[in-house]
Structure 1
Amino acid sequence: MDNQNSKFRWVIFTSVLFTYLIMSSQRTAPGLITDQLMIDFGVTAATVGLVTSIQFFVYTGLQVPMGMLADRYGPNFLLIIGANLTGVGTIIYSFGTHEFVLFFARILTGIGDATIWVNMVLILSQWFNEKEFTRLIGFAGMTGSLGFLLATVPFSALIVLLGWRGAFLSAGILLCLLSIFLYFVLVKKSQQSFFVASKIQREKTSVLLRRILSNRQAWALFLCHFGIVGGYIGFIGSWAVPYMMDVYGMTRLDASQLIMFSLIGALIGAPLIGWISSCLATIKRPYIVFHITVLLCWSIFLIFREHPPFYLLIILFFIIGFGFGSNSLTFAVVRQTFPITETGIVTGFANTGGFLSAVLLPSIIGYILDHFQSTSGSIGDGYYYGFFTPVIFSIFGLIGVILIKEKHQGAGREPNEKRTDFST
């Protein structure tokens, strides 16, 4: 089957993205039942926070290993197994009777979740040409944001209808069924191999890893993803609501509703930015523009001493979300400048940068707020100094995107073409 000219590639695209939608929703869905878990299991907020966040730690830590496994064994096997693991972990979570069971279930879910992005990128790169890929990877990024949206009002309604155990059990069963469906679509129907029997002699893992870690292009992609992802996921997903409650005196419900502006920005930005880049036949120039835009947005919080006018706050949240949508361009550059045999590990390495910043930023801001709370009894200035963190992270991102070396789109790269050397 000629993958890149087959109409069946759109079935592949839809199937993989729908799986990503459901899997990404389960990253944040446990946050909806934090208070219920504290009551049912008699545990502290810190314990529930650890159970909730462990998935992100597992996800971040497994990105590079997952990329190496994807390059060696192929994306079909890992994506199918990952969807099944996420489903099984979610089912175990729904039957949990002790916090250790919940902890184990979230680790299992994190392992499964770690497979989705790297392997989805590889699958789409196999079924779509370079120009299509640059446009469609934006829709893939939008799907992740839709997953976060699914884990708000829709999943809350399901919890009200079925109870939290019934809601998570339903999601787990759906993911297990999707893993079976993916096997039918990716392997049986498309006549592809479950495992990749590569004709290319594989390098030793240590040699390949050393080469990637000494490659300037790989580090540039790591940095630009580090700078654009952490501010959105790390701040919007953790401190945005408390910030608006403490600084603007908003209720939790009103602050949560305001976050929707950022989410809407991300939903619009991801496909639109990919389309703009495809039309301009360049990735680097629009990516630089959006990095600078996001950096300026975070800097405005410092200019207004953490308290910009309310109308401006709404605009800033929308633009930060819109700029976050450009993060999918990182993987368009990977697709463009690295051989297919290294795409998985480089994708995983770049994605590690993004989620490392998303893990670090909430902790750093939390430490700053605790410091001001303990020294002055108020966290008033804490948010001001806390906003230096996304500003600094964004500067790293801008440096990374400036360091990227881009090949002109249209200069196609065959799967086995010799690697373009971007090493320092």
Structure 2
Amino acid sequence: MEKQNSRYRWVVFAAVLLSYLLIVSQRTAPGLISDQLMKEFNVTASTIGLLTSIQFLAYAGLQIPIGILSDRFGPNFFLIVGTLLNGLGTLLYSLASNEWFLLFARLLVGIGDAAIWINLVLILSQWFKVNEFVKLLGMAGMIGSLGFLFATVPFSTWISLTGWRTPFFTVGILLCLCGILLYFVLVKNPKKMLINQTSSSSSSVKIENKREKTLVTLRRIFTSRQAWATFLCHFGAVGTYVGFIGSWAVPYGMHVYGMTRSGASQLIMIGLIGAIIGAPLTTWISSRLGTIKRPYMLVHLMIFLCWTAFLLFGGKPPFYILVVLFFIIGYGNGGSALTFAVVRKSFAIKEVGVVSGFANTGGFLSAVLLPSIFGRVLDHFHTASSTVGYHYSFIVPVIFSLLGLIGGILITEQRQEVSQSKELTA
């Protein structure tokens, strides 16, 4: 069976994206019940912050190790295990009896989540041709944004109707079932299809290629301009969006514009809508133009100009401009799927996992750093009006997004469709 010409690849695509949708929803869903957890378990806000931090620190810290292991041993096992760990962690979260139980559950979710995106990219690389891959990355990005969207009003309504434990328990069960489904779709059924194929010679080549020393691979990647370009791109596009949206967007709307918590949450929805549109549209434009660098540089330029606009308006742009800025910044986050299109076209298949992990680390490192630095600047101006504090705090995402724009400039357009297609079918 030739994977890239098989109709079965669409079954793989559907199963992988279903799992990804549910997994992404659990990245932010716990934020909906922070106040309930504080009351039920009698814990402080810092403990709730630790629950979020441990999940994303585990995610960011494991990106490169997971990439190395996935390149060496294949993505199927790690995607299945990652999905099952997500499910198990979410189940334990719903059954938690104390804060330590909650902490352990979120750690499991973070470890499982770390194995998802990298292996999703690798699996799509194996099952789809390069021109299909770029477009499908946009679809995957859109599905991720829909997962975030599910974790807003729909999940909040579900919690209001049944209490918080039932929704998390149900999603945990569904994720465990998705792990089982992925085993059949990625491992068992393809083995049956390939049972009559003899590929001992090509297998020996693959094993030999994979035996390169890890330190040699890492040294080559860490000295690669292209790898650092993808790191900076993700640092500027993803981290500024996730870091701000996940921490300061709602307080910003409430303190600077006098909005209610519900009203300020609508700003997040606007960003999510932008992200849902940005992922498929940007990858489609890239495919039509036959280039990644030009549309991606435009995306980073727009993100940089949007954060600069916050600064130029003194931290309080007119409301109609604010809506546009949130939409464009969200669009840029969706467009960040092109980071992995660059990785796929620029590096050999045996290195796609570790380079994807390296690039993804940039995004989530930025998402961890931005809320903290942003908050420190706010604290420094705590005696002034809230507008002054936010005005100077916006210097942080401006600098971060400038690094993303530099990453876009550093990208070297490479076309390796022919050679990599041969690698995939070898």
Q: Aligned partners of 2:98 and 2:355: how far apart in 1? A: 38
Instruction: Kindly provide the amino acid, as one letter, of the partner of residue 240 in structure 2.
Output: G
Of 37-46 and 254-263, more deviation after overlay is shown by 254-263
SS at match of 2:259: coil
Q: Aligned partners of 2:234 and 2:395: how far apart in 1? A: 18
Q: Aligned partners of 1:162 and 1:66: how far apart in 2? A: 37
Of 377-386 and 234-243, more deviation after overlay is shown by 377-386
Q: Note if 1:402 corresponds to 2:409.
A: yes
Q: Aligned partners of 1:206 and 1:79: how far apart in 2? A: 24
Q: Aligned partners of 2:299 and 2:22: how far apart in 1? A: 28
Structure 1 residue 306 displacement after superposition: 0.6
SS at match of 1:342: helix
Q: Aligned partners of 2:253 and 2:422: how far apart in 1? A: 49
Q: Aligned partners of 2:378 and 2:355: how far apart in 1? A: 35
Q: Aligned partners of 2:101 and 2:57: how far apart in 1? A: 17
Q: Note if 1:200 corresponds to 2:208.
A: yes
Q: Note if 1:338 corresponds to 2:347.
A: yes
CA contact (8 A) 1:339 1:415 kept: no
Q: Aligned partners of 1:263 and 1:94: how far apart in 2? A: 26
Of 161-170 and 174-183, more deviation after overlay is shown by 161-170
Structure 1 residue 92 displacement after superposition: 0.9
Selected match of 2:268 from 245, 250, 259:
259
Structure 1 residue 246 displacement after superposition: 0.8
Which residue in the other structure is 1:180 paired with?
180
Which residue in the other structure is 2:32 paired with?
32
Q: Aligned partners of 2:246 and 2:145: how far apart in 1? A: 12
Which residue in the other structure is 2:240 paired with?
231
Which residue in the other structure is 2:49 paired with?
49
CA contact (8 A) 1:90 1:106 kept: yes
Structure 1 residue 206 displacement after superposition: 1.7
CA contact (8 A) 2:271 2:331 kept: yes
Which residue in the other structure is 1:222 paired with?
231
Q: Aligned partners of 1:409 and 1:311: how far apart in 2? A: 44
CA contact (8 A) 1:281 1:409 kept: no
Which residue in the other structure is 2:21 paired with?
21
CA contact (8 A) 1:281 1:408 kept: no
Which residue in the other structure is 1:420 paired with?
none
Which residue in the other structure is 1:75 paired with?
75
Of 65-74 and 203-212, more deviation after overlay is shown by 203-212
SS at match of 1:199: helix
Which residue in the other structure is 2:197 paired with?
none
- Describe the shift of the 1:144–1:311 C-alpha distance in structure 2 as closer, same or farther (beyond 3 A): same
Deviations 1:112-135 (A, max 9, x none): 000100000000011110011111
For structure 1, list consecutive stretches of 5 or more residues without a partner in the other structure. Answer: 418-424
Selected match of 2:387 from 380, 389, 392:
380
Q: Aligned partners of 1:258 and 1:88: how far apart in 2? A: 32
Deviations 1:202-236 (A, max 9, x none): 11222211121111111111111111111111112
Deviations 1:80-134 (A, max 9, x none): 0000011111111111111011001100110000010000000001111001111
Q: TM-score, normalised by structure 1?
A: 0.95
Structure richer in helix, relative to its length: 2
Deviations 1:163-196 (A, max 9, x none): 2111111111110010000000011112289xx9
Structure 1 residue 406 displacement after superposition: 1.3
Of 197-206 and 157-166, more deviation after overlay is shown by 197-206
Aligned-residue CA RMSD in angstroms? Answer: 1.6
Structure 1 residue 409 displacement after superposition: 7.0
Q: Aligned partners of 1:219 and 1:258: how far apart in 2? A: 32
Identity of aligned residues (%): 63
Q: Note if 1:393 corresponds to 2:400.
A: yes
CA contact (8 A) 1:131 1:409 kept: no
CA contact (8 A) 2:243 2:371 kept: yes
Which residue in the other structure is 1:421 paired with?
none
Equivalent residues, number: 413
Which residue in the other structure is 1:294 paired with?
303
CA contact (8 A) 1:28 1:151 kept: yes
- Describe the shift of the 1:409–1:293 C-alpha distance in structure 2 as closer, same or farther (beyond 3 A): farther
CA contact (8 A) 1:142 1:270 kept: yes
Which residue in the other structure is 2:321 paired with?
312
Instruction: Kindly provide the amino acid, as one letter, of the partner of residue 386 in structure 1.
Output: S
Which residue in the other structure is 2:374 paired with?
365
CA contact (8 A) 1:282 1:408 kept: no
Structure 1 residue 27 displacement after superposition: 0.6
Of 20-29 and 205-214, more deviation after overlay is shown by 205-214
Q: Aligned partners of 2:121 and 2:157: how far apart in 1? A: 32
- Describe the shift of the 1:63–1:260 C-alpha distance in structure 2 as closer, same or farther (beyond 3 A): same
CA contact (8 A) 2:346 2:415 kept: no
CA contact (8 A) 2:93 2:106 kept: yes
CA contact (8 A) 2:3 2:9 kept: yes
Of 47-56 and 197-206, more deviation after overlay is shown by 197-206
CA contact (8 A) 2:349 2:420 kept: no
Which residue in the other structure is 1:303 paired with?
312
Q: Aligned partners of 1:232 and 1:191: how far apart in 2? A: 41
Q: Aligned partners of 1:345 and 1:229: how far apart in 2? A: 19
Structure 1 residue 411 displacement after superposition: 4.7
Q: Aligned partners of 2:50 and 2:385: how far apart in 1? A: 26
Q: Aligned partners of 1:414 and 1:402: how far apart in 2? A: 27
Q: Note if 1:6 corresponds to 2:6.
A: yes
Q: Aligned partners of 1:377 and 1:408: how far apart in 2? A: 53
CA contact (8 A) 1:370 1:379 kept: no
- Mapping of residues 36-185 of structure 1, within 5 Å: 36-185=36-185
Structure 1 residue 161 displacement after superposition: 3.1
For structure 2, list consecutive stretches of 5 or more residues without a partner in the other structure. Answer: 195-202
